[in-house]
Amino acid sequence: MSDRAVAEVVDITPGMGSEVANLDLRDLSSFSQHWLADLLARRKVLVFRDQSLSRDQHKAFARVLGELHIHPSNRQVGAKGDPEVFAIRTTENSRYANGDAWHTDVSCEEVPPLASALYVRELPGPSGGDTVFADMTRAFATLSEPIKALIRSLNAVHDGRKDLARYGIELKAGQSYPCATHPIVPVHPDTNEEILFVNPSFTDHILGVSRSESDAILELLWRHVTDDPRLHCRVRWQPGTLTIWDNRSTWHHAVWDYFPSSRYSERVTILETRRPRR
């Protein structure tokens, strides 16, 4: 029986996001790398319910798509714990919730990650803590032609220190964090579709224009994405849910609406080997 015959795929919205039923992610023989990569590239966000995964099984599933990425906080700042797992814990004592702003995971890397797979191990209750995603392929497609022409030739600087500053974190002597320049409109390496590849958390400025021009262009792009719900899909977490998203063609926002309850999740991220290109 083929992969597609086993899995039941139900779309969350017409343009982006699908729930995938009838797959036990512990059984890696029940699906192929090609099937998973193709579905992820097309639907951008995949939700798997009713899973029971150990940390090693979570990582094994992610490795179907490639080698695992080590987050800069583990690789360069010296965070403790499993370097291949980015742990995200929010409690009533937290000053902030990680990911509580629109972003693409560590787009400041020279080669930004291919995808992220998040498994929530502690939920705040029967509701709250949803993740909202934005479709950056459609975001570019719905811009006007003059704006498309303007930004196609431009590059932007993605600086990890901008994201750290949101959390009040300053690097200490001897520490570093990635900073990279990427095209604003690369093509997806698997679908060849043009993508809007900037985000509010990491993109600092556009090269070749004045700072005021850069700020104005970026603010226009931020508003274009955040103000249009047709670009969004929302994932509600339940016990045993794993969600994987294409980091090259999405933004996401972890909604912190559950204070003072706690939430604990673990993210495993997959390396990309191809730099963003026009």
Q: 71, 105, 159, 188: which is the annotated catalytic residue?
A: 105
Task: Say yes or no to pLDDT of 92 above 90.
Answer: yes
The reported pLDDT for the residue numbered 260 is: 94
Give me the mean pLDDT over the 121-148 stretch. Answer: 96
Contact 147, 128 (CB under 8 A): no
pLDDT of residue 4: 46
Tell me the mean pLDDT in the region 175-200: 96
182 has catalytic annotation: no
Question: Is a pLDDT exceeding 70 seen at residue 160?
Answer: yes
Check pLDDT > 80 for residue 236.
Answer: yes
Which of 158, 252, 253, 263 is an active site residue? Answer: 252
Which residue is catalytic, options 103, 182, 232, 253? 103
Q: What is the DSSP string of the chain?
A: --HHHH-EEEESSSSS-EEEES--TT-GGGS-HHHHHHHHHHHSEEEE-S----HHHHHHHHHTSSPEE--HHHHTS---S-TT-EEEEE-TT-SS-TT-S-B-TTTTSSS--SEEEEEEEE-SSSS---EEEEEHHHHHHTS-HHHHHHHHT-EEEEEHHHHHHHTT--PPTT----EEEEESS-B-TTT--B-----TTTEEEETTS-HHHHHHHHHHHHHHHHT-GGGEEEE---TT-EEEEETTSEEEEE----TTS-EEEEEEEE---S----
Q: What's the whole-number average pLDDT of the chain?
A: 93
Look up 232 and say whether it is catalytic: no
Kindly tell me if the per-residue pLDDT of 19 is higher than 50: yes
Domain borders along the chain are 3-270
Q: Which class does domain 3-270 fall in?
A: alpha beta
Indicate if 103 belongs to the active site: yes
Structure confidence by residue, pLDDT tens digits, 45-76: 999 999 999 999 999 999 999 999 998 887 65
Q: Is the pLDDT of residue 2 over 50?
A: no
pTM value is: 0.94
262 exposure class (CB count in 10 Å sphere: 0-12, 13-18, 19+) = middle
Q: Is 105 a catalytic residue?
A: yes
Least confident of 13-17, 169-173, 189-193: 169-173
